[in-house]
A and B are shown apart, each in its own frame.
Chain A
Amino acid sequence: SQQGEEDPQALSIQEGENATMNCSYKTSINNLQWYRQNSGRGLVHLILIRSNEREKHSGRLRVTLDTSKKSSSLLITASRAADTASYFCATDPTGANSKLTFGKGITLSVRP
C-alpha cells in the first residue's frame, strides 16, 4: 500500500535557488523519512523526523512535519547541480521499519 505522495512529481530549478518538495500521507505515523536516489542507484537516507517533532535540520536540508495536516516538506537551500536526483518520502507507522512505505518520488533537476 502506497502511503506517502510527493508533490510536485518533477521540479526544475536554477543552481543557487531553493527547492521545496512536499509529501502527504493518509494514516498516522511514528516517523517520516526522506531519501535521495541518483539515477538507477540505491537510495540514500537524508533525514528522519518523528511524529512528535515539527522541524529538523541537516546541513542545507530542512524538513517540517505537520501531523494535523498529515504532510511534510523537504527544503533544500542553495541548491547545487549535484542535488539533481529523485527524492522519496517514506512513512513508518510503527517505528520499526517493518511497514515503511515509499511514495513515487520527485525528480529534481538543478540547472548549472
Chain B
Amino acid sequence: EAQVTQNPRYLITVTGKKLTVTCSQNMNHEYMSWYRQDPGLGLRQIYYSMNVEVTDKGDVPEGYKVSRKEKRNFPLILESPSPNQTSLYFCASSSHRAELFFGPGTRLTVL
C-alpha cells in the first residue's frame, strides 16, 4: 500500500531533550516536506527537500533540522525542544508536480 508513515504518532517530552520524528514514504517520491499545524494558524512549512541531499527552509525552520540521506526517509530533528514546539506535525511527499500525500501526523507535547 502506498503510504507515508511517521513515528512516533504521539510523544510527550521535556524541554531540551533531543528527539527525532521519522518519516518514510514507499512511493519513490522526489519531494518531501514537514509541516506543523497549530490552532488558528493552519499548516506552516518547516523544511522541504526536492531530492536526496537537497533540503531547504520553509516558513518556520527555527529550532528544527532535517536530513535527506535516502530518497524514502526525511527525519525531523529537534535538537533542544521547547514548549513552543508543542504541535501536530505532518510529513508529506509527492512526485514531481503532483499532489501531496500526507502522513498520519505526530502529536508532540514539550513540557
Majority SS at the chain A contact face: loop
Interface residue tally of chain A, by bracket? 20 to 34
Q: Which of B74-102 contact A (CB under 8 A)?
A: 88, 90, 92, 94, 96-102
Q: Point out which of A88, A95, A96 has the most chain B C-beta atoms below 10 A from its C-beta.
A: A96
State the CA gap A100–B92 with chains docked (Å): 11
State the CA gap A35–B40 with chains docked (Å): 17
What residues on B are CB-neighbors of A41 within 8 Å? 104-105
Number of cross-chain contacts by CB at 8 Å: 63
Contact of B101 among A45, A48, A104, A105 (CB under 8 A): A45
A88 and B94 contacting across the interface, CB-CB below 8 Å:
no
State the CA gap A99–B41 with chains docked (Å): 17
A33 and B43 contacting across the interface, CB-CB below 8 Å:
no
A43 sits at the interface (CB 8 A): yes
A98 sits at the interface (CB 8 A): yes
State the CA gap A2–B94 with chains docked (Å): 21
State the CA gap A102–B92 with chains docked (Å): 13
A45 and B99 contacting across the interface, CB-CB below 8 Å:
yes
Q: How far is the CB of B93 from chain A (nearest CB, A)?
A: 9
B41 and A104 contacting across the interface, CB-CB below 8 Å:
yes
Given A97-B94, A103-B42, decide whether A42 and B103 contact each other with a Cβ distance below 8 A: yes
A44 sits at the interface (CB 8 A): yes
What residues on B are CB-neighbors of A42 within 8 Å? 4, 90, 102-105
Given A96-B31, A97-B94, decide whether A40 and B105 contact each other with a Cβ distance below 8 A: yes
Majority SS at the chain B contact face: strand
State the CA gap A21–B105 with chains docked (Å): 25
State the CA gap A97–B96 with chains docked (Å): 8
A96 and B101 contacting across the interface, CB-CB below 8 Å:
no
With CB as the reference atom, state the residue of chain A lying closest to B101: A45
Given A98-B31, A98-B48, decide whether A48 and B104 contact each other with a Cβ distance below 8 A: no
Interface residues of A (CB under 8 A from B): 1-2, 33, 35, 40-45, 48, 88, 95-105
A-B complex: 3 closest residue pairs judged by Cβ atoms:
A42-B102, A104-B42, A45-B99
